[in-house]
Each structure stands twice: as C-alpha cells, then as structure tokens.
Structure 1
C-alpha cells in the first residue's frame, strides 16, 4: 500500500472497531483534517480520535518537532498540539495478511509522549515503535521498546480513554 492507502485503511478500520463496540462514529470529511480524524460518542460522552496507520512497525510522530536533537522537547511539543478529549488510535499492518485484522492500540497523547521519552534507553525517539530491539550499534543498545500491552484496542481500553482524555 502507498501512504494514502495506509491512512484510508487505518481510518476505516478504526471507525469499524469503534462502531462494533457500540459507539456512534463521525468521520471528518476531506484530506488532512486538523488534529483528529473521527469523533466517537456514546450517550453524552465524546472523544476525538487521531488515527495513525503504519505498515513498517512504527509511527513517525515527532520528527517535525525536532530541533537540537532534543527528543524530549519534540515529544512535549507534539503532545501540546492535541486538545483535551483527543486520543490516538494506532493501526499496524506490518506482517498482517489481508484476511486478518491489523493490530490496533489506543493511547492518550501524554502516554505516547512519555513512552517516546523512555525509548532508546532513555535518550528518546521520534518514532513510536510497536516492537524494536536496539542493536549493539544503536544508542539504545541492549534494550527493547514495545507498545504496552494495555494499549491494545478493547472495550475496556475505550472506557479507560474516556476517563483519561
């Protein structure tokens, strides 16, 4: 898939999963909408959802905020651009056959920023990796970065997002 196809597929899958979990889903119309792609609601509770798709094992999130090799400042700047009640839905297509569902995760921006700061043995990173073992030649040599298991898309995780966002 090209990047546009990854984005379209990720957004459609996220919308389908939220709908399947019993949430009302509204999709923003048009390309490159600011901050979020979907709005999900149940009763009087609503969340904005920024959907990020990937087919290479990671999501490049903070590169455009980097200056002076300050990974922490980049993560903080990325986090600040998100308004309250916004969550991030991460969709991963790497090594997923077409007949299977991709792996999907939910997190609030602050949790992602904190995770990025801990990456690469505490140096920080601009890419949120689903799973990365740092080799001997890398700054994070001997460490592994991994999306926390509790970020997996589940009904309970959606409920947690309403409490955290």
Structure 2
C-alpha cells in the first residue's frame, strides 16, 4: 500500500472499531484538518482522535522536531504541539493478511512521550515501535521496545480513554 492508502485504511478501521463498540463517530475529510482525524461520542462526552497508520512496525512521530536537538528535546517539542485531551489511535498493518484487521492501540500524548523517551535503552528515538529489538551496534543494544499491552484497542481501553480524556 502507498502511505496514502495506509492513512485512509487506518482511519476507516479506527472509525469502524469505535462504531463497533457502540460509539457515535464523525470522520473529517479533506486537507488542513485540525489536530484530530475523527471524533467519537458517548452520551455527552466527546473524544478527539488522531489516527496514525503504519505498515512497517513503527510510527515516525518526532522526526520533524529533531533538527538541532536531541531525541528527548524532540519528543518534548512533539508533546508540546499536541493538546493533552486529543488521543492517538495507532493502526499497524505489518504482517496482517488482507482479510484481517490491523492491530490497533489507544494512547495519550503523554503515554506516547513516556515510551518514546525510554526507547533505545533510554536514549529516546523519533519512532514509536510496536516491537523492536536493538542490535549489538545500536545505542540501545540488547533492549527491546514495545507498545504496552494496556494500549490495545479494546472496549475497556476505549471506555478508559473516554473517562480520562473525554470532553
């Protein structure tokens, strides 16, 4: 898939999963969208969701913030650029069959920044990895980065996100 197809497919799967869990969903289309791609609603609570799709095992989130600073500073700049009530849904298509849903995760900007800062043995990185074992020559040699299990997009995780970040 092209990166455009990954993005469109990710948004569609995320919207479908929220709808499957009985949330009302509104998807934004077109250029120059604000910080979020879709809104999910439960009763009088609304959740703004930024969708990030990937087919290579990771999500490059802070590369554009890296110039002239270290990884931790880039992650902080990325974090500062996001509203704390907007959550992220990460969709991973790597090694999924055409008839399978992508693996999906829900996380807040603060949760993502915490994991990214711990990446590569604490050096930090510009990529949030679903699973990555650092090789012998890497800064994080011998360490493994992975998405926390609690981020899996389940009905319980979605409800937690509404209770914690819903407006």
Q: Same fold by TM-score, threshold 0.5 exceeded? A: yes
Listed one character per residue, the Cα deviations across residues 90-128 of structure 1 (whole Å, up to 9, x for unaligned) are 000000000111100000001001110000000000000
The residue that corresponds to 1:107 in the other structure is: 107
C-alpha spacing 1:32/1:60, structure 2 compared with 1 (3 Å): farther
Paired residues, number: 165
Residues 1:7 and 2:13 aligned together: no
Q: Is the 8 A contact 1:49 1:87 kept in 2?
A: yes
Q: Take 1:138 and 1:106, find their aligned partners in 2: how far apart are those partners?
A: 28
**Which deviates further from its counterpart, 131-140 or 25-34?**
25-34
Q: CA RMSD, aligned part only?
A: 1.0
**1:95 matched to which residue of 2?**
95
Please list every run of at least 4 consecutive aligned residues from structure 1 whose deviation after the TM superposition is greater than 3 angstroms: none
Deviation at 1:69, TM superposition (A): 4.3
**Cα distance, 1:162 vs. partner?**
2.0
Q: TM-score, normalised by structure 2?
A: 0.95
Q: How does 1:6-155 map to 2 (within 5 A)?
A: 6-155=6-155
Separation in 1 of the partners of 2:67 and 2:164?
29
Aligned-partner SS, 2:160 = helix
Q: Distance in 1 between matches of 2:28 and 2:135?
A: 41
**Deviation at residue 20 of structure 1 after TM alignment:** 0.4
Deviation per residue, 1:68-94 (Å, 9 max, x gap) = 341111111111221142100000000
Q: Structure 1: which 5+ runs fail to align?
A: none
Shift of residue 140 of structure 1? 0.5
CA contact (8 A) 2:84 2:109 kept: no
Tell me, in whole angstroms, the C-alpha distance in 1 between the residues paired with 2:6 and 2:152.
19
